[in-house]
A and B are shown apart, each in its own frame.
Chain A
Amino acid sequence: MKNNLYHRFDFRCLAVVLFSIYIIWNSSAYCQSSVSTDIVHNNTLLREITIKTALNPPEGFKLRVLPRFYGTPDARLEEGTIFNYINGAGENYIKHGFNFVGNILLENSTGDRITIDIFDLSSIENAQDAFEDKNICAPGSSPLDLGIRLEAKVYSYPPDYMLYFVENRFLVQISLDNDAFKDTAQVLSAQIIKLINEK
């Protein structure tokens, strides 16, 4: 019993320390770069939201890889630009003031995956415009009330399930490859909305 508690405590401490180092290292790296202070601030906020979400995965899921961050051709992040992530589809986000995207990939023991993409689109207006763009949020969604200003959009294409919403300047896309976990997507949404509004 004592050993178990010791191991659990040790693991959590280690995880927090590692992620703290990760955040500090990334923030300092970008402070030294040539990007403007405003972008550094925006970038840091996106990182905080992404990493805090990643630190608290739903039960049964764990991070498949460390969170990844992609920027624009003018402000590349460590994994490169949005085009390295989603190829030509990146143009649609660039049109709406895209700054950065944070990506989280979660997986459970049976291989079911949850992908979370948090797009920083510079302003509330841009985020809302992107949310109405049919090249980003295709027609055919169902509305879902998450208690925020705009109803979320839900897409059900079995076995895939997607939940998109906008909060502040962030467009959030949660994609599941197994719709059995759609309730989990709603829990994650609430968690991310809370994190955004804390800032």
Chain B
Amino acid sequence: MRNDSMSRKHTRREFIGTSVKTAVCIGVASKFIRSGKNIFADDLKSRVVIAMNPRAINNRNQCDVAETNKLFDDALYSLTGKNTAVDAWGALGLNAKDIVAVKVNCNSWTIDLSPHKALIDALCFSMGAVIPLNNIIVYERTSGDLEEGGFKQNTSNAGVRCFGADEGGGFDPTQRLTRILTDTCTKIVNLASLKCVEGDMAASIFFKNHIGSLLQEDMPKCHSDQDFMAEVSSRPAIKNKTILNLCDGLRGTYKRGVPWYWKGIVMSKDAVAGEAAAIGVMNEKRKVESEKPLDLPESLLIADKKYKLGNSDPKRIDVVQLNL
């Protein structure tokens, strides 16, 4: 009896102690999750899917819709380890009430490297399994940039919305980002193009894509300040809301000003790992063309080491190659 009583007392103490420890652990974990920090960054590799489909695009920059859909879907399933769009997006954290901002980079000056509409349609169609299409906002720096990239503006209550940050309700004074990111959306998909710029920056992919999310007077800082470039993606709205980074390499460049139909995409939750892998794709082509390989830009290393935005070390990147 006495023993039982002591045992009960002891158990109660143990129970309280365990409860406190558990609460502390949950509190710490939720703090990390809320702040968007990858709590597994030091233990697990970042997965990057490199997927290619030679039937997705021809050599006149025209996409095959069905093959582009297949390219996107297979990459998404491979990234998440799921078999349906609902499950895959669920694994990435997309909920039925979310509003998703898709940042695209329209590059129509001289060579057309704007994102392919077929790929955006594949992305939106897939997300449409979870959220209404009108909850998706495709945006760029300005509505004019979108129109020059071949996209029609849509601010209506039907279909995927499409407009520029210049019509996005202004800019958040603290984060100095478009209010599309800070106020309107709850999740972000970073859809960049595979673009080689050489020099210190090496490439214009996920990090440079967010130049178009900035206040206009801050944009020039990205051209010379590598720390600034990395820091932009550490701002809460971008860091906490981004659920997917997708690089359109159906047509990209492997050296400055020289296009190439790579016919693939790069996809990752980790923008740093995704960009490092995309530069690796360029370097494979550069090797074939006897060009000097591109070094990883300093901004990527800063994003990894200083801002803890992901993994730049190849040893900590798990690359999954899909050849359709």
Contacts of B110 in A (CB 8 A): 115, 160, 162, 173, 175
In this complex, what residue of A is CB-closest to B223? Answer: A88
- Cα(A113)–Cα(B148), bound, Å: 10
Flag if B201 contacts A88 (CB, 8 Å).
Answer: yes
Is the pair A138, B255 in contact by a Cβ cutoff of 8 Å?
yes
8 Å CB contact of A135 from B61, B211, B256: B256
Residue in A closest to B113 when the chains form the complex, CB atoms:
A160
A140 contacts the other chain (CB 8 A): yes
State in angstroms the CA–CA spacing of A173 and B60 once bound together.
21
Contact A158 B59 (CB under 8 A): yes
Note all chain A residues with C-beta closer than 8 A to B258: 138, 140, 157
Tell me the interface secondary structure of chain A in the complex.
mixed
Min CB–CB distance A150 → chain B (angstroms): 19
Question: With A83-B223, A177-B112 in contact, do A157 and B256 touch (Cβ < 8 Å)?
Answer: no
Among B111, B148, B201, B223, point to the contact of A157 (Cβ < 8 A).
Answer: B111
Asked if B257 is at the interface (CB within 8 A of a chain A CB), the reply is: yes
Residues of B within 8 A of A177 (CB): 108, 112
| A87 and B259 within 8 A (CB) | no
B197 close to A (CB within 8 Å): yes
Q: Is A147 an interface residue (CB 8 A)?
A: no
Interfacial chain B residues near A140, Cβ < 8 Å = 258
Q: Give the contact-size bracket for chain B.
A: 20 to 34
Query: Complex formed: what's the CA distance from A29 to B11 in Å?
Result: 85
* Cβ-defined contact, A159 with B256, below 8 A: no
B60 with A159: CB separation less than 8 A: yes
Q: Is A91 part of the binding interface, using a Cβ–Cβ cutoff of 8 Å?
A: yes
A86 close to B (CB within 8 Å): yes
Beta-carbon nearest neighbor of B60 in chain A? A159
Bound CA–CA A133/B211 (angstroms): 26
A174 to chain B minimum Cβ distance, whole angstroms, is 10
Q: How far is the CA of A73 from the CA of B111 in the complex (A)?
A: 25
Residues of B within 8 A of A155 (CB): 257
| Chain B residues in 8 Å Cβ range of A89 | 109, 197
In the complex, whether B273 has a CB less than 8 A from a CB of chain A is no
Chain B residues near A138: list those with CB within 8 A. 255-258
Selected contact of B223 from candidates A84, A91, A135, A175, CB within 8 Å: A91
A-B contact pairs, 28 of them (CB 8 A): A73-B220, A83-B220, A83-B223, A85-B109, A87-B219, A87-B223, A88-B201, A88-B204, A88-B222, A89-B197, A134-B256, A135-B256, A138-B256, A138-B257, A138-B258, A157-B111, A157-B259, A158-B61, A159-B61, A160-B111, A160-B259, A162-B111, A173-B110, A175-B109, A175-B110, A175-B111, A177-B108, A177-B112
Using CB atoms and an 8 Å cutoff, list the residues of chain A in contact with chain B: 73, 83-89, 91, 105, 115, 134-135, 138, 140, 155, 157-160, 162, 173, 175, 177
